Amino acid sequence: MKQTEFLIESEATDSAITALKYEDGQLREVEDRVAEEVPVAMIYNGISHAVMLATPDDLADFALGFSLCEGILSSARDLYDMEIVHRVNGIELQMEIASENFLHLKERRRSMAGRTGCGLCGSESLDQAIRIPNRIQAHDIHFDAEAIYLAQRNMQTLQALQGRTGATHACAWVNPEGEVLMVREDVGRHNALDKLIGARARQQQQTAGFVLTSSRASYEMVQKAASADIPMLVAISAPTGLAIRMAQGCGVTLVGFARKQQHVVYSCPERLLHKELA
User: Which residues fall within 8 angstroms of residue 172, CB to CB, at 6 or more apart?
Assistant: 151, 155, 158, 180, 181, 182, 183, 196, 211, 212, 213
266 within 8 A of 244, measured Cβ to Cβ: yes
Q: Residue 164 and residue 35: Cα distance in Å, rounded?
A: 8
Angle at the Cα of 245 (from 239 to 246), degrees rounded to 5? 90
Beta-carbon contacts of residue 58 (< 8 Å; ≥ 6 apart): 184, 195, 198, 199
- Angle, CA of 34, 169 and 23, to the nearest 5°: 45
Report how far residue 61's alpha carbon sits from residue 186's, in angstroms, rounded to the nearest whole number.
Answer: 12
At CB < 8 A and 24+ separation, what contacts does 53-58 make? 53/187, 53/188, 54/186, 54/187, 54/188, 54/191, 55/13, 55/161, 55/168, 55/185, 55/186, 55/187, 55/188, 55/191, 56/11, 56/12, 56/13, 56/91, 57/13, 57/185, 58/184, 58/195, 58/198, 58/199
Active site residues: 118
Q: Is-contact 116 191, C-beta < 8 A? A: no
Are 63 and 82 contacting, i.e. CB atoms less than 8 angstroms apart? yes
